[in-house]
Chain A
Amino acid sequence: MWLAGLAVLAVGGASALALSALKDQAAFFYAPSDVKKQGLPLGRAVRLGGLVQGGSIRKAADGVTLRFVVTDGAATTPVTFKGIAPDLFRENSGVVAEGRFAPDGSFVATNLLAKHDEKYQPPELAGKLHETKSLKQ
Chain B
Amino acid sequence: MIAEAGLAALWLAAAMAALQLLLAANVVRLGRPSGSGSPLPFRGGVGVGEVSPSPSPVVSPHPNPSPEPKAALGQREGLSQQFARAIRPVAIAQGALVALAMLCLILVFARSDMSVRLVVENSHSAKPMLYKLAGAWGNHEGSMLLWVTILGLAGAAVAVFERRLDQRTLSATIGAQALIAIGFYAFLLIASNPFARVFPAPADGNGLNPLLQDPGLAFHPPTLYIGYVGISVAFSFAVGALVTREVGPAFARAMRPWVLGAWIFLTLGITAGSYWAYYELGWGGWWFWDPVENASLMPWLAATALLHSVSVLATRDGLRAWTIMLAVVAFSMSMIGTFLVRSGILTSVHAFAVDPERGAFILALLAIYIGGALALFALRVGTVRQGNVFAPLSREGALVVNNLLLSVILGIVLIGTLYPIAAAAFGVQLSVGKPFFDKTTGPVALALMVFMGAGPLLRWRRDTASALLKRMTWPVAGFGAALIMLVPFAWGIGVLPLLGLALAAGLAVASVAPLWGRNLRRTPLFTWGMVVAHLGIAVSLAGMACDSAFTKETLVVAKIGEPHAVGPYWVRLKGLRPVIGPNWSAIAADLSITRGQDGAPFILSPQARYFSDPPTSTTESAIATKLDGQLYTVLGKPDPGGGYQLRLWWKPFVTFIWLGGAMVALGGALSLLGRIRRGRVRVAEEHEA
Residues of A participating in the B interface, judged by any CB pair closer than 8 Å: 3-4, 6-7, 10-11, 13-15, 17-19, 21-22, 25-29, 45, 47, 59, 62-64, 82-85, 87, 98, 116-117, 119-120, 122-125, 132-137
Contacts and interface: CB of A to CB of B under 8 A. Distances in A.
Contacts, number: 145
Contact of A122 (B351, B411, B555, B617): B351
B557 A62 contact: yes
A4 B323 CA distance: 12
B408 interface: yes
Interface of B: 206, 209, 211, 281-283, 285, 288, 290, 319, 321-322, 344-349, 351-354, 356, 400, 404-405, 407-409, 411-412, 415-416, 419-420, 423-424, 428-433, 435-436, 439-440, 444, 555-557, 614-619, 634, 636-637, 639-641, 643, 645, 647
- In order of increasing CB-CB distance, the 9 nearest A-B pairs are A63-B557, A25-B436, A29-B429, A84-B636, A14-B411, A122-B347, A14-B408, A18-B415, A87-B617
Contact of A18 (B288, B352, B411): B411
A84 B347 contact: no
A117 B645 contact: no
11 contacts: A4-B321, A11-B408, A14-B409, A21-B436, A45-B433, A63-B639, A84-B619, A98-B433, A116-B616, A119-B353, A134-B347
A27 B432 contact: yes
A78 B502 CA distance: 43
B355 to A, nearest CB: 8
Contacts of B354: 122-123
A63 B416 contact: no
A134 B556 contact: no
Contact of A63 (B206, B347, B556): B556
A83 B435 contact: no
A115 to B, nearest CB: 12
A10 B432 contact: no
Nearest to A130: B429
Nearest to A123: B344
Given A25-B439, A120-B353, A132 B347 contact: yes
Given A11-B408, A45-B435, A83-B555, A134 B637 contact: no
B372 to A, nearest CB: 21
Contact of B281 (A14, A19, A136): A136
A117 B347 CA distance: 14
B322 A3 contact: yes
Nearest to A22: B419
Contacts of B288: 136
Contacts of B433: 25, 27, 45, 98
B424 A124 contact: yes
